[in-house]
Chain A
Amino acid sequence: MWEQIRSNHIRSAILVTVMGVLLLLIGYLLGLYFFDNGIGGIIIALVVWAVMNLVAFFRGDSILLTLSRARKISRDDHPRLYNVVEEMRISSGLEKMPDIYIIDDPALNAFATGRDPNRAAVAITSGLLQKLNRDELQGVIGHEIAHIKNRDVLLMAISAVLLGTIVILAWYATRIMFFGGMAGNRRSSSSGGGSGQIIILVVGIVLMVLAPIMAQFIYFAISRKREYLADASSALYTRYPEGLASALEKLAASTSQLKSANKATAPMYILNPFRKKGMSASNLTGTHPPISERIRILRSMVGGASFADYDQAYRQVHKTGRQLLPASAMTTGAIGLHAAGSEATEQEPDEAQRAREISDLLWHRSGYKTISCDCGARLKLPPKFKASSIRCPHCGRVNQA
Chain B
Amino acid sequence: MAIYVIVGVVVVLLIAFVATYNRLIRLRNQVKNAWAQIDVQLKRRYDLIPNLVQTVKGYVKHERETLEAVTKARNLAQQAASSGAGERAKVEGELSAALSRLLVVVERYPDLKANQNFLALQEELTSTENKISFSRQFYNDSVLRFNNQTQMFPSNVVASVTGFKASEFFEVPVAEERKAPKVSFT
Q: Are A90 and B124 CB-contacts (below 8 A) given A342-B185, A345-B184? A: no
Contact with A along B140-168 (1 / 0, CB 8 A): 01101100000000000000000000000
Q: Which chain B residue has the least Cβ–Cβ distance from A238?
A: B134
The verdict on B108 contacting chain A, using a C-beta distance below 8 Å, is: no
Q: How large is the interface on A (under 10, 10 to 19, 20 to 34, 35 or more residues)?
A: 20 to 34
In the complex, given contacts A83-B127, A90-B138, A237-B134, what are 12 additional A-B residue pairs having Cβ atoms less than 8 angstroms apart? A83-B124, A86-B127, A87-B127, A87-B131, A90-B135, A91-B135, A332-B144, A341-B130, A342-B126, A342-B185, A346-B184, A346-B185
The verdict on A367 contacting chain B, using a C-beta distance below 8 Å, is: no
Overall SS of chain A's interface: helix
Q: Are A332 and B141 CB-contacts (below 8 A) given A79-B120, A79-B123, A90-B134? A: yes
Q: Report chain A residues within 8 Å CB of B123.
A: 79-80, 83
Q: Which chain B residue has the least Cβ–Cβ distance from A343?
A: B185
Q: Are A93 and B138 CB-contacts (below 8 A) given A339-B182, A342-B183, A342-B185? A: yes
Q: Report chain A residues within 8 Å CB of B30.
A: 93
Kindly identify, within residues 119 to 177 of chain A, every residue whose CB is under 8 Å from any CB belonging to chain B: 134
Name the distance in Å between B180's Cβ and chain A's nearest Cβ: 11
Total number of residue pairs linking A and B with CB closer than 8 Å: 52
Q: Report chain A residues within 8 Å CB of B135.
A: 90-91
A91 contacts B134, CB within 8 Å? yes
Q: Which chain A residue has the least Cβ–Cβ distance from B133?
A: A338
The verdict on B37 contacting chain A, using a C-beta distance below 8 Å, is: yes
A393–B60 CA distance with the chains assembled, in angstroms: 37
Name the distance in Å between B21's Cβ and chain A's nearest Cβ: 18
The verdict on A294 contacting chain B, using a C-beta distance below 8 Å, is: no
Q: Report chain A residues within 8 Å CB of B120.
A: 79
What 9 A-B pairs come out closest when comparing CB atoms? A83-B127, A91-B134, A346-B185, A90-B134, A87-B130, A90-B135, A93-B138, A342-B183, A87-B131
A79–B116 CA distance with the chains assembled, in angstroms: 13
Q: Report chain B residues within 8 Å CB of A288.
A: none
Contact with A along B17-54 (1 / 0, CB 8 A): 00000000000001000100100010000000000000
The verdict on B78 contacting chain A, using a C-beta distance below 8 Å, is: no
Contact with B along A85-103 (1 / 0, CB 8 A): 0111011110000000000
Q: Which residues of A contact B (CB under 8 A)?
A: 2, 79-80, 83-84, 86-88, 90-93, 134, 237, 239, 332-333, 339, 341-342, 345-347
Name the distance in Å between B131's Cβ and chain A's nearest Cβ: 5
The verdict on B137 contacting chain A, using a C-beta distance below 8 Å, is: yes
Q: Report chain A residues within 8 Å CB of B144.
A: 332-333
A86 contacts B34, CB within 8 Å? no
**Which of B124, B134, B137 contacts A79 (CB under 8 A)?**
B124
Q: Which chain A residue has the least Cβ–Cβ distance from B116?
A: A372
**Which of B126, B137, B185 contacts A239 (CB under 8 A)?**
B137
Q: Report chain B residues within 8 Å CB of A332.
A: 141, 144
Count, chain B residues at interface, CB 8 A: 23
Name the distance in Å between A174's Cβ and chain B's nearest Cβ: 50
A71–B10 CA distance with the chains assembled, in angstroms: 58
A91–B41 CA distance with the chains assembled, in angstroms: 13
A90 contacts B37, CB within 8 Å? yes
A88–B138 CA distance with the chains assembled, in angstroms: 11
A88–B130 CA distance with the chains assembled, in angstroms: 9
A7–B134 CA distance with the chains assembled, in angstroms: 26
Name the distance in Å between B173's Cβ and chain A's nearest Cβ: 15
Q: Which chain B residue has the least Cβ–Cβ distance from A87?
A: B130
Q: List 24 A-B contacts (CB under 8 A).
A: A2-B145, A79-B123, A79-B127, A80-B127, A83-B124, A83-B131, A86-B131, A87-B130, A90-B41, A90-B131, A90-B135, A91-B134, A91-B138, A93-B34, A93-B138, A93-B141, A237-B134, A333-B144, A341-B130, A342-B185, A345-B184, A345-B185, A346-B184, A347-B185
Contact with A along B165-186 (1 / 0, CB 8 A): 0000000000000000011110
**Which of A83, A91, A333 contacts B137 (CB under 8 A)?**
A91
Q: Report chain B residues within 8 Å CB of A239.
A: 137
A80–B122 CA distance with the chains assembled, in angstroms: 11
Name the distance in Å between B123's Cβ and chain A's nearest Cβ: 6
Name the distance in Å between B141's Cβ and chain A's nearest Cβ: 7
A80–B144 CA distance with the chains assembled, in angstroms: 31
